[in-house]
Amino acid sequence: MAEFTMELNDEQKEVRDWLHGFAADVIRPAAAEWDEREETPWPVIQEAAKVGIYSLDFYAQQYFDPTGLGIPTAMEELFWGDAGIALSIVGTGLAAVGVLANGTEEQIGTWIPQMYGDANDVKVAAFCSSEPDAGSDVASLRTRAVYDEAKDEWVINGTKTWATNGGIANVHVVVAVVDPELGSKGHASFIVPPNTPGLSQGQKFKKHGIRASHTAEVVLEDVRVPGSCLLGGKEKLDERLARARERARKGGERVKNAAMATFEASRPAVGAMAVGTARAAYEVALDYARTREQFGRPIIDNQGVAFQLADMRTQIDAARLLVWRASWMAVNGKPFTAAEGSMSKLFASETAKKVTAQAIQILGGNGYTREYPVERMHRDAAIYTIFEGTSEIQRLVISRTISGMPIR
């Protein structure tokens, strides 16, 4: 087990600096254009693929960093560049992780390469879980998958929403209900291969922020996929459902808490995204305050501005430390006895909203215009308190964890 440290080693610093350079030289110059276009920035994704950032190998290396700091460091730097473009670059990773976590070796080898494509022909993938009536309440999913034993096929019907890369993805990973009586324990994940009949893009959302990231509904109408597209396979699913039914008869609270631990482990990555956006806005505000003069002196000489910057920096550093702690705990198997994963996501996301708003205030009228990037950063920051569990859900998880109450 790696000791917790607040100091990156030489290799981690090298990766951080490499990512920072890509964010500064490639992502930032393109940010305003793709925000206005509200389209997937394919040329930027292709550049990321050419240098090795848009690849499973890169994210696997960061994920298996024994200190736990690989992923949060990468996310902070990319999202420092621009949240919308960064999400387009990392969005495929969510679907890839779903396959890595639940798939067989054959499924991993078959489908993950098709999610990324190559530098000359980049592809993206989509993870489809949320539904119009089931966001935070995952137990309320309605998308159904029914097994056709005669043909060894699964038939999937339903509508997914808020899917990053939904409809434009080469490969979709879809979470569906296979046993409604088991609630969230009756779910399974399926690969929907490219060009499968019955899958279509529904509404594409015109969003407040992260506009360079494609977000849409995915409609599944009698979508048939081979039995081999059930992640983990039918035998493993049947065994898992049998265990879940037995545990439900005995009282299933322990199972629910085990499932919550999975979400806890993924939330620090979102916190790192928020830290990156907050840091970017803070740096713009700091530079502006040093050079903008009013009444014959830089505005940073005014305590009203200087104290805001002091608070902004303090909150960003505190958020990063919470993210790093939770990331280290997740990688090293430390139990989240106080919902530390949710703590990191909650504090970092709220910090991003606050810091980006303060940056606009420091820039005054300039901050409110699109000539400066802080208004875009403020719009982007709003998503962090919503996706991967709203701030209200994080507070619920934390309060129930520290009180010993069950998390449903």
Q: Which member of 47, 131, 264, 388 is catalytic? A: 388
Whole-number Å distance between alpha carbons of 347 and 369: 27
Is residue 388 annotated as part of the catalytic site, yes or no?
Answer: yes
CB atoms within 10 A of CB 132: 13
Place of tokens 């859900």: 393
The most distant pair of C-alpha atoms in the chain lies apart, rounded to whole Å, by 82
Residues designated catalytic: 388
